[in-house]
Amino acid sequence: MTREVVWDHGVSLPGHRLWLDPLVVRSFAFISHAHTDHARRHKEALLTPQTLALIPEARRPRGWRMLGYGEAMRRGPATVTLHSAGHMLGSAQLHFEHDGTSVLYTGDIKLRQPGGLPDTFVPKADTLVLESTYGRPHFRFGDPDSTIEAIARWCRLALDSRVTPVLLCHALGKTEEVMLALEQYGFSFALEKRCAPCARDYAAAGRPLPEWVELNGEPVSGRVVIAPPVGKDEVRRLGRYRTALISGWAKDAEFARLFGADATFDLSDHCDFDELMEVVELSGADQVYTVHGYTEDFARSLRKRGIRAWALEANEQLALAL
């Protein structure tokens, strides 16, 4: 019973009235991280202090219970522990234990970390609910440190030829992590207006960023510009510029073309196909549910390797009795 996992507008452990990143308002819900697709105005939410700090006031849950990494919380007869998911500031995996069996919900997860940091820790669990955004084998990303070095070289080359390098990154999470990764190369930054509030929130949530200014419609010189991948009005006013898409989707030629970027770099805050396989191995789980992205494809790849796996999201409203 403990291992029963259900999809109903979000992952649920029905015996325990615990919802994991539900898409509709619930009485008690775990919010794995601050991206908009995971934050709703729940009656009570379980989240890390950093995630709470990154959710704008208007979208905050009505009540919350903050839990730091590695701290255990009792939930009836069960124990809940959060661990870093390596996806962005505050992102957490939820480990649920009851009656000698356990479930691990990864939320959005990134295993490989840049800057010589160790891989994200994956706790052991009997059942794994895994985010499978890049669950197809052609999504294999380069080593993050080499990719960051390549991005730095690309930016330097542009600046040396008096062209403004523009990195296309999602405003919350990716923008700030890319700034931090490029800090060692001594760049200063100019952020498009949608990235600016996120950068301020990141710093307020405890992660100070390298020096930056906000784009104000004037051309900038000597700075690396960061802007979201869609809506390039402000970027077009920069005069001479070149754009680079920073995303795992860079591996998908069609998708990369859609963004019309001059260059692409496959730096992602999600696991690639091999990292997803590694998360499964590290967890030691003997049954896996996939959510988000290529759920069916990745579940099939796992079954080929002899692991019991199902796409949870594709079975909406269907309770999977184990």
Task: From 28-36, 120-128, 144-152, 272-280, give the range in contact with Zn ion by CB under 5 A.
Answer: 28-36
Tokens describing residue 272: 């690639």
Compute the half-sphere exposure of residue 260: CA atoms within 13 Å on the CB side of its CA.
Answer: 6
Residue 11: count of CB within 10 angstroms of its CB = 23
Minimum separation from the CB atom of position 100 to Zn ion (A) = 32
| Sheet strand arrangement including 64-66 | 64-66, 44-47, 28-30, 18-20, 11-13, 5-7, 319-320
Q: Which of 108, 192, 234, 272 binds Zn ion (CB under 5 A)?
A: 108
Task: From 35-43, 58-66, 131-139, 305-313, give the range in contact with Zn ion by CB under 5 A.
Answer: 35-43
CB nearer to Zn ion: pick between 97 and 131: 131
Q: What does the alpha-carbon distance between residue 41 and residue 56 come to, in Å, rounded to a whole number?
A: 11
Q: Which of 3, 16, 26, 35 binds Zn ion (CB under 5 A)?
A: 35
Q: What does the alpha-carbon distance between residue 120 and residue 137 come to, in Å, rounded to a whole number?
A: 21
Per-residue contact flags (x/-) with Zn ion for residues 63 to 102, judged by CB under 5 A: ----------------------------------------
Minimum separation from the CB atom of position 108 to Zn ion (A) = 4
CB nearer to Zn ion: pick between 126 and 177: 177
* Best CA proximity match to 89, nearest among 9, 160, 131, 35: 35
Tokens describing residue 314: 């594709």
* Best CA proximity match to 307, nearest among 299, 315, 296, 317: 299
* Best CA proximity match to 182, nearest among 135, 149, 154: 149
Contacts 24+ apart (CB under 8 A), 65-68: none
CB nearer to Zn ion: pick between 35 and 98: 35
CB nearer to Zn ion: pick between 15 and 49: 49
Minimum separation from the CB atom of position 219 to Zn ion (A) = 32
Under the binding rule (CB under 5 A), the answer on residue 270 touching Zn ion is: no
Q: What does the alpha-carbon distance between residue 131 and residue 222 come to, in Å, rounded to a whole number?
A: 39
Which parts of 127-223 are beta strand (E)? 127-132, 164-168, 189-191, 212-214
Minimum separation from the CB atom of position 32 to Zn ion (A) = 8
CB nearer to Zn ion: pick between 36 and 146: 36
CB nearer to Zn ion: pick between 35 and 42: 35
CB nearer to Zn ion: pick between 89 and 282: 89
Task: From 108-116, 126-134, 144-152, 298-306, give the range in contact with Zn ion by CB under 5 A.
Answer: 108-116
What is the enclosing helix (H) or strand (E) of 170?
Answer: none
Minimum separation from the CB atom of position 92 to Zn ion (A) = 12
- Tell me how many residues contact Zn ion (CB under 5 A): 2
Binding region for Zn ion (CB under 5 A) = 35, 108
